[in-house]
Amino acid sequence: MIRQPVRTLIVTATMLSLTRCGYFDSRAAHKAQMSMIGMTSYDLQACAGIPASVKQLNDTTQLYQYSGTHTTPSWSGSTLIPIADVSTVLQQVVGGGGTTCTAIIRLDHDRVSEVHYAGDNDEVIGTDGICSIITRGCSRQPESTMKKVNGGPFGPVSAFSSPKTPNQSTDSTYSKQAGSVIPNPDPKSDQPIIVPRTQ
C-alpha cells in the first residue's frame, strides 16, 4: 500500500508535469469557449482587451479577432545533457510546440455567441493551449456577464477537444440580451425569416 506522503508526491509530480506540457492551458482555453458565451462586447473588451480587428457582418453580427503569441523557451547548449535536442525530438514525436493563436469571437446583438481558435496553437498535451493567453484575463477576473462553468480541475471540459458550439437552428438565433429567439435573415432577401408561432 502506498503511504500518504508518497501518494502526495506522485500526485504533485503528475500535476506539475501536466502543467508544463499544456494540459491545464488547453482546459482553460476550452472552458473560456463556454464561459464567455453571453458576454457583452464591453465586458469582453474590458478583460480581453481591444480586438486586433473587427468585421461587421450585418446590422447585428460582428467578428472580433484577437491574436496571441507564446515564446518558446530557448535551451542553451550543453555537452552533458543535450536538452535542446531532446526537446526538439519530443515535439516532433509527440507534437505541440505551438507559438501563435488567433481567437475569432462572434457577437450577435452585442453578446458573445461563439468563440473559435485557429493557428499553430497546440502544446505537447491537449489542443488550443496557447489560446489561453488571450482569454486569461477573463478567466482570472470574470466579468458579470460571463457564465459560471463548474467542474473542478477535470470537468466539464476536455483538454483535447473544444466544447460544442451552442445549438442554433438555421432559421433563428437565441439572443440572451433580448431574452428570446431572433429570426435570422433570409440569405436571398436579407430580410428576417418569420416563423409562425405555434400555440
Rounded distance between C-alpha atoms, residue 175 and residue 191, angstroms: 17
The alpha carbons of the chain give a radius of gyration, in whole angstroms, of: 21
Q: Are 114 and 106 in contact (CB under 8 A)?
A: yes
90 to each of 101, 119, 160, how far by Cα in Å?
21, 20, 18
Residue 180 lies in a domain: no
Residue 179 lies in a domain: no
By C-alpha distance, which of 175, 37, 177, 32 is closest to 106?
37
Residue 187 lies in a domain: no
As a whole number of Å, the end-to-end CA separation of the chain is 64
Residue 166 lies in a domain: no
pLDDT of residue 117: 96
Residue 130 lies in a domain: yes
What is the total count of domains within the chain?
1
Q: What is the pLDDT along the chain (199 residues), one digit of tens a residue?
A: 567 776 765 655 555 444 456 788 999 999 999 999 999 999 999 999 999 999 999 999 999 999 998 776 555 555 555 555 555 555 555 556 778 999 999 999 999 999 999 998 888 888 899 999 999 999 999 999 999 887 665 667 888 778 887 654 444 555 555 555 555 555 555 554 444 444 4
Residue 192 lies in a domain: no
Residue 161 lies in a domain: no
Phi, psi dihedrals of residue 57, rounded to the nearest 5°: -85, -40
**135 is in which domain, residue-wise?**
4-73+81-145
CA 118, chain centre distance (Å): 10
Q: Are 100 and 119 in contact (CB under 8 A)?
A: yes
Q: What SS3 class is residue 49?
A: coil
CA 32, chain centre distance (Å): 5
Residue 159 lies in a domain: no
Q: Are 158 and 168 in contact (CB under 8 A)?
A: no
Q: Are 28 and 153 in contact (CB under 8 A)?
A: no
